[in-house]
Amino acid sequence: MKTGHSSLALRALRTHLMHRPVQLALLGAVVVLGLSGPFGTFQALPALLRFFYWAVVVGVTYCTAYFLITLVLSQMPSRWPHWMARGISGAVAGPVVAGLVTGINVLSFAENTSSLNDPIGFGTLTLYCTLICATVTVLMGQVDATNPPEVTTFPPPLLKRLAFDKRGALVSLQAQDHYVLVNTTKGQQLVLMRIGDAMAEVGNTAGFQTHRSHWVAQNQIADSTKQGERGILTLVDGSTAPVSRNYMPALKSAGFFQ
């Protein structure tokens, strides 16, 4: 897979982990698993080590799965239904998650693996992880499509580079030579920077990179039109943004181009 796709997947993971609901969900999972101690961990580990164990398992497997799913989705043909693309990407992540869990268990219970209740063979564990990852990925795609993220009121760092009268809600970014045209609800301004650096300063404003030289805010998308394996987004202000083949899966998984 291309290095550019890996960079995009890492950037998506970093942005995803910045969202407070995601952080709270992961923390909640660690607390519940640490207190309940499933799969024999309650008997095998003292409380402090048990919470640490589940923090490692939850953090490593979640981040790895999210990265792999995002990476595989970027390779899927845009003509495939988004539920199919998400299901396949989740299934690809499943065996890797199973391998990580097995590795963590070997390191954690090297001298006491027999203390775990109902030990699961690697083949069965892989099957479970694959089915769970595929199912959760498809369901989360449906949730994302019907419940788009709310727009934050916290000003993105990028706005500090603009004149005061241009500091509105972000609409789109477009690379133009060595500059980026920053389009907000209050106007446009060219800023001397790379588009990658500009996208890193949108804060937690939900949006999509649609092309190597374009980014759009999700809540500013008014319409989406497919053109073969590519597409066009029409924004609320009437402007348009091209969608190249590599970025189509992310938009389809969010409910566009259906």
User: Could you tell me the two tokens for 89?
Assistant: 């990407």
According to CATH, what is the number of the domain 157-253? 2.40.50.1020
Cα diameter, the chain: 67
Whether residue 120 is predicted with pLDDT greater than 70 in this model: the reply is no
Query: DSSP readout, 26-44?
Result: HHHHHHHHHHH-TTTHHHH
Q: Which residues in the chain are classed under CATH 2.40.50.1020? A: 157-253
Element containing residue 192 per DSSP (H, E): strand 187-192
* Residue 238 to residue 41: CA distance in whole angstroms: 57
Alpha-carbon distance of 186 to 13, in angstroms, equals 30
The verdict on pTM exceeding 0.75 is: no
Q: Ranked by mean pLDDT, which of 11-25, 108-122, 229-243 comes out on top? A: 229-243
Average pLDDT over residues 172-199: 94
Taking the C-alpha atoms of residue 234 and residue 45, their distance in angstroms, rounded to an integer, is 55
Evaluate the CA torsion angle 215, 217, 223, 226 in order and state its sign.
positive
Q: Is the predicted pLDDT of residue 15 greater than 80, yes or no?
A: no
206 neighbors 254 (Cβ within 8 angstroms): no
* Distance in angstroms (rounded) separating the CA atoms of residues 188 and 181: 7
Tell me which of 29-33, 82-86, 179-183, 239-243 is least confident: 82-86
Report CA-CA distances (Å) from 62 to 30, 147, 254: 12, 21, 20
